[in-house]
Amino acid sequence: GAVVSQHPSRVICKSGTSVKIECRSLDFQATTMFWYRQFPKKSLMLMATSNEGSKATYEQGVEKDKFLINHASLTLSTLTVTSAHPEDSSFYICSAASGKETQYFGPGTRLLVL
């Protein structure tokens, strides 16, 4: 149980384009989903918290207009990186929680912006 999927697993795009990443909880309903980013040899940094049906809460320093988050259902959250630039290249990981202690992580999406 408690499986979280992400799609795509890897994406390469040109600078200036937008990229959408999906995060799905497959066998439970996630009241809250989280988006993290991890640069090489660095730890995971929380970007934003999203609750189903409400606006996401962004961490300090994360641009909400650049990283658009939609949490339309209890099993799906999307992160759209708008007008991506090479410095946005990173490993993006979502996690989902059902109100209990544990967050379950998706497998991650590796984004490379050329």
Partner 1 sequence: QKEVEQNSGPLSVPEGAIASLNCTYSDRGSQSFFWYRQYSGKSPELIMFIYSNGDKEDGRFTAQLNKASQYVSLLIRDSQPSDSATYLCAAKQSGGGADGLTFGKGTHLIIQP
Tokens 């606006």 identify what position? Answer: 55
Among the listed residues 5, 51, 70, 80, the single contact to partner 1 using CB under 8 A: 51
Question: Applying CB under 8 A, does 104 fall inside the site for partner 1?
Answer: yes
**Cα 50-57-48 angle, rounded to 5 deg:** 65
Q: What binding mask, one character per residue, do residues 66-85 give for partner 1 by CB under 8 A, x or -?
A: --------------------
Q: Which residues contact 89 (CB under 8 A, 6 or more apart)?
A: 111, 112, 113
What residues make contact with partner 1 under the rule CB under 8 A? 31-32, 34, 36, 42-46, 49, 51, 59, 93, 95, 97-108, 110
